[in-house]
Amino acid sequence: MKYFSRFLIALITLGTIACQNSVPGMAGTTPPNHQAWDQLLKAHVSPTGIVDYKGFINDKAKLDAYLKTISDNAPARKTWSKNEQLAYWINAYNAFTVKLIVDNYPVKSIRDLGPALKIPLIKDVWHYKFFKLGGQESSLDEIEHSILRKEFEEPRIHFAINCASVSCPPLLNEAFTATKMESQLDRVAKTFVNDKSRNKISANAVEISSIFSWFKGDFTKNGSIIDFLNKYSTVKISSNAKVSHLDYNWNLNE
């Protein structure tokens, strides 16, 4: 009996450790390979981020196979590196967003999708739990706000994740990877900030994306919004520049 009790305690301990190391549900032992997603992006997304959803529909089996790999291999906090986790969550967000459009195509805007009963800011498409991660139902909102924004405190993720809309930062036509994460985040930040169709920047006045208003706190933890913009802008902006925000175009980015 004594040995059986020790055996039970050991099993419980191992189970507790496994749960603590996973986000969410059961974690994969090693990070998944994002090559299939990379191939899909290169095939169906232009260098400027225009998405060919009909092409993704034709490759739906390959997309679903990749997403199954994502679903079955949730990150282990204590064993995966920060960049491995970032690559997983960014790619998961973007790939599941594409799946949402593919499964409901044609659609004018992503905001037309989601639960039938819509309550503003509570029941929208981003709260719609249409996929599982590690066996647990999840949503795009949970990936963005409960994980990416909360756990990593990396403002550049706002330029990496894509909401399938014209005014969103362009969907990068390659998968994010741990080895290239820093250069990729810098690239999407510079591309977005200097994109004249999404931000109008001059030395003394800036008309910038509403993203900088919605998530202002993420961009101003170490200075003003002008300080943040000047890290990536090719135009040097005065600290006293007038700041306003542009309307957001939610039409599909195709």
Separation between Cα atoms, residue 166 and residue 170, nearest integer Å: 8
Would you state the structure tokens that stand for residue 133, as one six-digit string? 């991660």
- Helix ranges (DSSP H) in the chain: 2-20, 35-44, 53-58, 60-72, 82-104, 140-141, 181-193, 211-214, 216-219, 225-230
pLDDT for residue 77: 87
pLDDT for residue 21: 41
**pLDDT tens sequence across 49-58:** 999 999 999 9
| Residues 98 and 70: beta-carbon distance below 8 Å | no
Which of 225, 188, 191 is closest to 207 using CA atoms? 225
What are the C-alpha distances in Å from 70 to residues 23, 76, 91, 112? 12, 13, 9, 26
For residue 206, what are the β-bridge partners?
201, 243
Express as a percent the part of the chain with pLDDT over 90: 81
Q: What pTM does this model have? A: 0.87
pLDDT for residue 12: 39
* Amino acid letter for position 153: E
Separation between Cα atoms, residue 232 and residue 186, nearest integer Å: 8
Write the CB contacts of 173 (distance below 8 Å, at least 6 apart in sequence): 41, 42, 45, 46, 47, 49
